[in-house]
Amino acid sequence: MADPHIPADGLSRTALYTAWVRAAETDLFTDPLAGHLLRELGDHEGLASFVEQMRSSANGFATYHLVRTRYFDDRLGEAFAAGVRQVVTLAAGIDGRPARLPCPPGTRWFELDLPAMTEFKTALLARSGLRLSCDRAGVAADLTTDWANPLRQAGFTSSRPTAWLVEGVLMYLTPSQGDALLDAVTALSAPGSHLFLEHLQASMLGSRGSRVREGLKKQEVVFAAGRDDIADWLGAAGWRAEVHAGDDPAIGHGRSVAPVPAAWLASGRLAGGTAPGR
């Protein structure tokens, strides 16, 4: 098949790597969209080189990504069971959840990413022939600028409880950009909304993460933030959160995750009104 015009920036390559990992999994979950993508790519040189770079930088990446995927799958299932019928994924990449999770009837799923990735993902879904289990909208937006208005224009309703998924993005935003993103999510959230996110442990910005950072730097990917106060950070914005280390056996489903890369996985719920801005 002709080159599917994959976005060439470094963060888009991390999305390709995640799809490569997910496509091979058959136990914790299955991801037919990732499988379709890899069949299209064949021996795409960009993917092959990035996969090798990730392998050499940290041998824990693959298993961690699988556990992370299942963790957020389970949390989204809990949100659906609680009656949530509106989902927003920020920096969605090539995530195949709208095609593989059993969404309840009436679910609307908004996937935000940069214009090039949004266009690529929408076309990929169309080519795959996969049947979506929800009403999906791809929203082209930059998370470092105004993304709330494009989301609203796509049909998002802030008066409805929402399940927010923020996976694989906060570590690439500066601390102030991360604060702004959390404030925006909170301002858009009705009581009963859920927030599921991943963040980097602060130690990954020091010597512990030097090998990983050097490997990612070769692909023009840079960690910009990490923090260890996730529960307090979310709590100050009005979210009651439960936080796990990425290698916590309690969320591993029997998989052993290497201690590097080190990340936090959090699940929060907004019980009352939104908290004041920072």
CA distances from 36 to 20, 91, 176 (A): 10, 20, 37
Check residue 57 and give its pLDDT: 66
Tens digits of residue pLDDT in 62-84: 899 999 999 999 999 999 999 99
Q: Is 90 exceeded by the pLDDT of residue 218?
A: no
Q: What amino acid occupies position 14?
A: T
Give me the CATH code for the 10-270 domain, please.
Answer: 3.40.50.150
pLDDT (average), residues 136-145: 97
Check residue 11 and give its pLDDT: 78
Q: For the chain, which residues make up each domain, given as ranges?
A: 10-270
In the structure, what pLDDT confidence band is assigned to residue 241 with cuts at 50, 70 and 90?
very high
pTM of the model: 0.93
Tens digits of residue pLDDT in 151-169: 999 999 999 999 999 999 9
Q: Which residues of 22-35 are buried (b: 16+ CB within 10 A; e: fewer)?
A: bbebeebbebebbb
CA distance 246 to 256: 10
What average pLDDT does the chain have?
91
